[in-house]
Amino acid sequence: MSEKIKLYEERLQRFTNAVELKANDRVPIISNIDNWALFNYGTTLKQARMDMEVEYAAFAKANTEAYFDVISYPGIASALNFIISLGGGIYQENTETIQVATGQSEIMNVEEYDQLINDPKSFFLNVILPRKTGILQRRHRTEKI
């Protein structure tokens, strides 16, 4: 068995054990990096948003230089570009790191729990999504989705 396959199987077993709440040799290390990968590569969020290959290269570098048992690559630029195409929502787009706009981090109020419980689909479509995206905020003012 090659060393790479052996390492893969060890990592897979470590992660499986953690998910199944079984004893493990140690806690698995999962990458949850976003802006750091860009900084480590020497690029900016703006450059990564304009060139997906730059973003990919930044995450590839970060995930090979650091030790992780499991790699999580959610992507930054494409998701942020999509959000911005919907009117921005809660994220600021003119920053060098992904930031939630001041005063926009709380998108659900305690008083709305019953509304969510009674009709989750309607609540997300007609309350949460319009709060998070500019284009839906404008549409929501004139009609329910």
Name the CA radius of gyration of the chain, rounded. 20
For the stretch 20-79, pLDDT in tens is 999 999 999 998 887 888 899 999 888 988 898 999 999 999 988 988 998 877 667 767
For the stretch 36-53, pLDDT in tens is 888 999 998 889 888 989
Looking at the whole model, is its pTM more than 0.85? no
Q: How far is the C-alpha of 10 from the C-alpha of 28, rounded, in Å?
A: 10
3-state secondary structure of 85: helix
82-99 burial: b if 16+ Cβ within 10 Å, else e:
ebeeeebbbbebeeeebe
Q: Which residues contact 60 (CB under 8 A, 6 or more apart)?
A: none
Q: Is the pLDDT of residue 107 over 70?
A: yes
Which tokens hold the place of 76? 């930054």
Torsion sign, CA atoms 46, 88, 129, 135: negative
Q: Are 84 and 93 in contact (CB under 8 A)?
A: yes
